[in-house]
Amino acid sequence: MQPVFIVADDHPLFRGALKEILTSLPEGADIVEAADFDEAADALARTPDADLLLLDLSMPGTSGLSGLALLRAEHPSIPIAIVSASEDAQIIARALDLGASGFIPKSAGFEEIKAAIRTLLEGDVWLPPDFSIEATGDPEVTDLIARMKTLTPQQTRVLSMLGRGLLNKQIAYELGVSEPTIKAHVSAVLLKLGVDSRTQAVIRLAKLGIDPERGLASS
């Protein structure tokens, strides 16, 4: 059976290059394309048996690593590999902390990307050969990721929906639970993130955005 890939990138030429690489695999490829974050989220919802999501960090509709955090929360069983023009060690380290299975620089050649995809399909992690895990990064982002790891799966889903701007009533409908249950989850999320309101939670989540000139956002 052909592996199923979701290719999420807003540049048609690069999506085309990835498609060429994927279709060159011996077993071929079933490919779903997405040109922005909302399309990527929809593609994941429609393709629960996907073998791998190749996700660009800088697409319309999301801000850097926050997009990875949201998709990872809502689809914990689907491997996600970041494909990015950035090769900043801090960003790579944060992506791994947030559950990425790999990080492929867009500067990599055809054969290197192909080898990376083979590694990921085998269930292993793939990183750039010269990557060092020693990057320290922004302590506020480090604290945020540590706090997010204390959330239960359901609380993480609720946080991801808060990040998308959904109201409690809408979250309750999507998750098939009562609105009071969602209110309880929101209260627990705010407590674990160390904030007082949903707005502050969303602002903290936005810290996972990326400034392409400076790496991880610092404001």
Domains and CATH numbers, the chain: 4-121 (3.40.50.2300), 139-216 (1.10.10.10)
The answer to whether residue 81 scores a pLDDT higher than 90 is yes
pLDDT of residue 123: 92
Q: Give me the helices (H) in the chain, please.
A: 12-23, 37-46, 65-74, 89-97, 110-121, 139-148, 153-163, 168-175, 179-193, 198-205
The answer to whether residue 176 scores a pLDDT higher than 80 is yes
pLDDT of residue 56: 92
Q: Which helix (H) or strand (E) holds 54?
A: strand 52-55
Q: DSSP character for 206?
A: G
Place of tokens 């929906």: 161
Position 97 confidence tier, pLDDT thresholds 50, 70, 90: confident
Per the prediction, the chain carries an average pLDDT of 86
Residue 69's SS3 state is helix
Position 217 confidence tier, pLDDT thresholds 50, 70, 90: very low
pLDDT digits (tens, 9 = 90+) for 113-136: 999 999 999 999 998 887 766 655
Q: Give me the helices (H) in 122-166, please.
A: 139-148, 153-163
Residues 91-114 have a mean pLDDT of 90
- The rounded Cα 33 to chain-centroid distance in angstroms is 16
Residues 5-22 have a mean pLDDT of 94
pLDDT of residue 143: 86
Q: 128: which residues sit within 8 A by CB, 6+ positions away?
A: 87, 92, 103, 104, 105, 108
pTM of the model: 0.76
Q: Give the Å distances, CA to CA, from 139 to 40, 79, 190, 202.
A: 30, 27, 19, 18
